[in-house]
Every structure is written in C-alpha cells, then in structure tokens.
Amino acid sequence: MELAKAITEFLDCLKSQKGYSEHTLRNYRIDLRHFFDFFKEKQAAAGAGASPDYPEKIDYQAMRDYLAALVSQYRRTTISRKLSAIRSFFQYLERENLIENNPTADLSAPKQAQYIPAYLQVDEIFRLLEGPDPNTPVGLRDQALLEVIYSCGLRVSEAAGLNLSSIEYAERLVRVFGKGQKERIIPIGHTALEAVQRYLDATLSLRKKQGQEGNGPQALFLNSQGKRLTTRSMHTIVKKYALKSQIMRDISPHALRHTFATHLLDGGADLRAVQELLGHVSLSTTQKYTHVSLDKLMEVYDKSHPRS
C-alpha cells in the first residue's frame, strides 16, 4: 500500500464527508507523518529498512511503543490529539479493506486531566472591550471584533469566516459556520451591532476596493490591505488588548468564548440553550463551564445559609 496515497485519500474523505476544516486536516497530516516517521526510524534501527507498505506491518506493540515515546515528550491533550488522528486513519484503512487488523482497536489514551477553561470576570471583559481606540479605523475594527466574539461566543475560526452578509441587522442575528461546516444562527447584542456599524462606516473606502476586486464573499473583518483578517491576527489582537487592560493571564480569543458561556450560565441561562449557542454536539462539552456557576452558588450559600 502506498502510504502517501492512503493518507491523501483519508484526508480527502474527512474533507468531503465530514467537512473538516483545512486547519484540522493539516494537523491530521502532521500527526500522521510524525507517527509513521517514528515507525520508519524503528524499522531502520532494527535493520529492517523502510517499505512502502509498512502501515500493514504496524501491530499493537508498535502502537504501545509510540504511546510510550509520546508520554515522555508531550502533554496528555497533545497525546490524545495525535492518537485520535492515528486511530481515525486506521479505522479508515480497515473500513476500506486496506488492512486486516486495526492495531489501535484496543489502545487506550492517557486519562485527561480536568480542564477548566480560562475566562474573564465582568470587570475584566469590560476593560478589554474598552481597550481599542475608537478614533481610528483599526481601533474600531478591533473593538467590533472583540464585541462580536464576546457577544456571540464565537470560535476564532468562525469570527474569521464572517462575511458582510453574515449579519441580519434588523433581526439581530448572525449566521456562522462551525466545526464540520455546520451552520447555526446566533443572537447578537445591540452593543456589538453598534460597534460593527461604526467600524463599517469608518472602512467604507477600503470595502469599496474589496468589492471591486470581486473575489467572492466580502469578509467582515479586514486587515490594512483589505484582505480577510486571519485567525493568527485575531489572536494577536486579543493578546494586545489583554496586556493593555493589565489582565495578567494568557488570554486568547477562545477565552472570550469561555467568558460568553460562563456569564450566560451565571446569569441563569439554561445549559442546553448555551450548548446550542456554542454549537456543541455533546452537552458534556458544555458542562465544563458549570464550575463557575457552582462557585457562584457556593458563595451565595456561604453568605446566606445560617449553618454554612
């Protein structure tokens, strides 16, 4: 079996059938190459040489050896991600009858540590949102970006993918495409809408240039060249204003998404409603945010209960 061809066909399948993003596909390719390079090195060290059909020779013990090597180098979250890519690949090979035995069938990933998402307190998020300079087009863009991510609880990739046509101003709704290109409709607050409108008014000439180029849908958030703002730039923007606001923690766009969910739950929102807004497939993914609400409940309990 030609390995490169098998990996390409596997990734094509993920893209066409499951709608995986280019970012996810790139990570899958990197993780698969890392694993097979590890196996090739073991083959060479043992004097067996490298064969174009070596995926067929990988057995359960080889998987255990790779897992042991990962444990000595990476965090559990990284290990789980790598094993997930490898497991999916061998399941694909098995389904396509390209291998007889799946070496990952009985492989268990290390138990994950309890993950508590980073989030901002109300006063911190207010300081962050007020950080950009409203007297410059760049400041207005950054303010609109921060407001929209926090108002809608967007993933950074979803924010980067927004177009001018994504927002329904009269209905106060935003249409986004999440993981697997799954569409969902999210409410957006008045404050965020006003920030977007100020930003659009300030960048009208830049948008006219973009519209004249006719390169598909017009992006909502632009860089100084009139091109779609990248996720990397959005990370930089959030970190810039976190530092300016004297928030001494590593804050990313995803922390604004966590803050959105946390503040909704603290305000009494139903967990399933928050699940829908975030675009989570499983309710258990959303439940990690309940620790904050429980902290708030404990505080109320300790202050109010006569026998606390």
At residue 110's C-alpha, the angle toward residues 105 and 113, to 5°, is: 140
Please enumerate in sequence order all residues whose Cβ is within 8 A of that of 221, keeping only pairs 6 or more positions apart, or say none: 141, 144, 145, 159, 160, 162, 228, 229, 234
179 is catalytic: yes
64 is catalytic: no
At residue 42's C-alpha, the angle toward residues 14 and 7, to 5°, is: 15
Between strands 173-177 and 167-168, the pairing is antiparallel
Query: For residue 264, how many other CB atoms are within 10 A of its CB?
Result: 19
User: Could you give the CA distance from residue 144 to residue 194 in angstroms, rounded to a whole number?
Assistant: 8
User: Could you give the CA distance from residue 158 to residue 257 in angstroms, rounded to a whole number?
Assistant: 11
Provide the token pair at 120. 């901002």
Name the catalytic one among 29, 42, 239, 254. Answer: 254
Name the catalytic one among 257, 263, 301, 307. Answer: 257
Name the catalytic one among 179, 198, 207, 291. Answer: 179
184 is catalytic: no
Name the catalytic one among 28, 66, 241, 289. Answer: 289
Name the catalytic one among 207, 235, 239, 280. Answer: 280
What per-residue string of b and e applies to 26-55 under the rule 16 or more CB within 10 Å gives b?
eebeebbeebbeebbeebeeeeeeeeeebb
Query: For residue 252, how many other CB atoms are within 10 A of its CB?
Result: 15
Closest CA to 189 of 296, 135, 263, 281: 263
182 is catalytic: no
Query: For residue 70, how many other CB atoms are within 10 A of its CB?
Result: 21
155 is catalytic: yes
User: Could you give the CA distance from residue 263 to residue 267 in angstroms, rounded to a whole number?
Assistant: 6
Name the catalytic one among 141, 155, 228, 263. Answer: 155
190 is catalytic: no
Positions marked active-site: 155, 179, 254, 257, 280, 289
